[in-house]
Amino acid sequence: MEILKDLTTQTIIERGKKVVMNTYGRLPMTIVKGTGSWVWDSDGKQYLDFVTGLAVNSLGHSHPAIVRAVQEQAKKILHTSNIYWIPNQVDLAERLVQNSFADKVFFCNSGAEANEAAFKLARKYAKKHYGANKHEVVTLENSFHGRTLATLTLTGQTKYQEGYDPLPVGFAYAALNDIEDLRSKVNQNTAAVFIEPIQGEGGVIPASIEFLQAARALCNEFGALLIFDEVQCGVGRTGKLFAYEWSGVAPDIMTLAKALGGGVPIGAMLAIDKVAAAFQPGDHASTFGGNPLATAVGCAVLDVMLEEGFMPGVQERAAEFRKGLEQLAQKYQTGDPVRGQGFMLGWPVSKLGPEIVEACLQKGLLINCVGGKILRFLPPLNVKASEMDQALGILDEVLKTIWN
C-alpha cells in the first residue's frame, strides 16, 4: 500500500491536536483505507475491523454496491432540498415501509436526530390527541440515545449528562427488564416509552421478550407510544433486518441510522400512519435529511441485505462466532456469559477490557470496550468464516497472556 509521507500517524495527531476539539479519547492511530473486513492505517499496518465504525460499515469497507451508488449519484446530483420531491428518498422510504411495521418515514442525518424527531413527534401526537398534560417520556436506565439536549436526557446514564444542567423536564427512568419498575413509571401522563431492543453503549444487554410485551401492553393501556431505538441494533445487525422482529412486538415509532447508510451519514424515523399524521409542514425538518446521495446509498445497502439468503447467512455466521467467544469465555473462566444477538455481541471480562482491546490492537484486531469491562464485537455482516477464526485466534493469544 502506498503511504503519503505527510500522512504519517504522528504527523496527523500533532496537526489534529492543534485544530480539532478534544471531545474523543482517540487511539494513537489513523485509518486511511479499507476493503471488506480489513483496514489500513497511515503507516501501512493492516487490521481486522470488528468495530466497523461502531456498527456503521455493516457491509464492510468499500462494498462494490455502495461504491457504485456513490459514484453514479455523484455524477447526477448530490443535494437539492426537501422543498422538492427526491426520487431516491421515495425509493428508500418504500423499501423501509415494505419491510417493517411502519407507514411513513422521516429522514435526517444521524441517530441522535432520529431520536430527537421521535421525541418531538411523540409529544406532538400526545398533545394533539390527549391535551397538554400528556408529555412525559419513560426511558430506561443505562440507555443511550444521543448527544442533543433532549436525547442526552433520554439517555439513562448520568455520566453523559454532567455539566449540561438544566436538562429538559418530563422524563422518568425505569430499569431494563424490570416489568414492575416500568409499570410504576408509566401513567396517564406518559406520552411515550423509549426502548433500545438491545442496549449498545450500555453494555450489549438485550431487552427480554416479556419486557417488550409488557411495555407494549402498558402503552396500549395508557395511550402512550412505544418507541424502539434501533440506531445500533437495526438494519441487519441482529440477523434480521430489524431487532424488534425477534420479539414479535411492533412499536409505533422506530429510529434508524448507522448501518442504513453503510458509511454515508443518514438517519430515519419510521412511524405508523396515525402517529405520523401529527407532523404537518413546518413542524419538523432537516436540511440534508434524505438527500439524493444518502438515500441512493441507503437503497443500495437494503438491496444487498434483502437479497435471498443474506440474513440467514448472517445468523449462521453470527452463531458460529458466538460459539467461539463462548468457548474462550469457558476456557479462561471470565465470568458472566456472552450476550447479545447476531453480530452485536458483548463479552464481560471484568476490569481488563481496555487492556485486552489494546493488546488486540497491537496484534491487528480492532474491537472496543463499553463500560470499561464489556468487549463489544460489531464485525461486518458479511465477514468471512476465516476472518472470524483469525479474530478468535488473536483473542485466544491475548487472553493467554493477560488473563490470570
Task: List pLDDT tens digits, range 15-40.
Answer: 999 999 999 989 888 999 999 999 99
The pLDDT tens digits for 346-365 are 999 988 999 999 999 999 99
Percent of the chain with pLDDT over 70: 98
- CATH topology match: 5-62+310-402 vs 65-305: no
On the question of pLDDT at 308 being above 60, the answer is: yes
The pLDDT tens digits for 180-218 are 999 999 999 999 999 999 999 999 999 999 999 999 999
Annotation: CATH topology of 5-62+310-402: Aspartate Aminotransferase, domain 1 (3.90.1150)
Residue 6 banded pLDDT, cuts 50, 70, 90: low
Q: At 260, list the grid cell.
A: 442504513
Residue 239 near residue 343, CB atoms below 8 Å: yes
Handedness of CA 21, 27, 31, 34 (dihedral sign): negative
The pLDDT tens digits for 43-56 are 899 999 999 999 99
pTM of the entire predicted model:
0.95
Beta bridge partners of residue 254, listed in sequence order:
228, 270
Residue 104 near residue 276, CB atoms below 8 Å: yes
Mean pLDDT of the chain: 96
Compute the distance between CA of residue 194 and CA of residue 189 in angstroms, rounded to an integer: 15
What integer pLDDT is reported at residue 3 of this predicted model? 45
The pLDDT tens digits for 144-162 are 999 999 999 999 999 999 9
Q: Which stretches within 21-154 are classed as H helix? A: 52-55, 64-76, 87-98, 111-130, 149-154
Name the more confident of 372 and 218: 218
What is the rounded radius of gyration, in angstroms, for the C-alpha atoms of the chain?
Answer: 21
Give every strand in the sheet of 368-370, ordered side by side.
339-341, 344-348, 374-377, 368-370
Annotation: CATH topology of 65-305: Aspartate Aminotransferase; domain 2 (3.40.640)
The pLDDT tens digits for 263-301 are 999 999 999 999 999 999 999 999 999 999 999 999 999
Beta bridge partners of residue 138, listed in sequence order:
172, 193
What integer pLDDT is reported at residue 350 of this predicted model? 87
What is the average pLDDT across 121-135? 96
Handedness of CA 227, 233, 235, 239 (dihedral sign): negative
**Distance from first CA to last CA of the chain, Å, rounded?**
38
Residue 115 near residue 145, CB atoms below 8 Å: yes
On the question of pLDDT at 93 being above 90, the answer is: yes
Give the residue extent of every domain in the chain.
5-62+310-402, 65-305
Residue 384 near residue 343, CB atoms below 8 Å: no
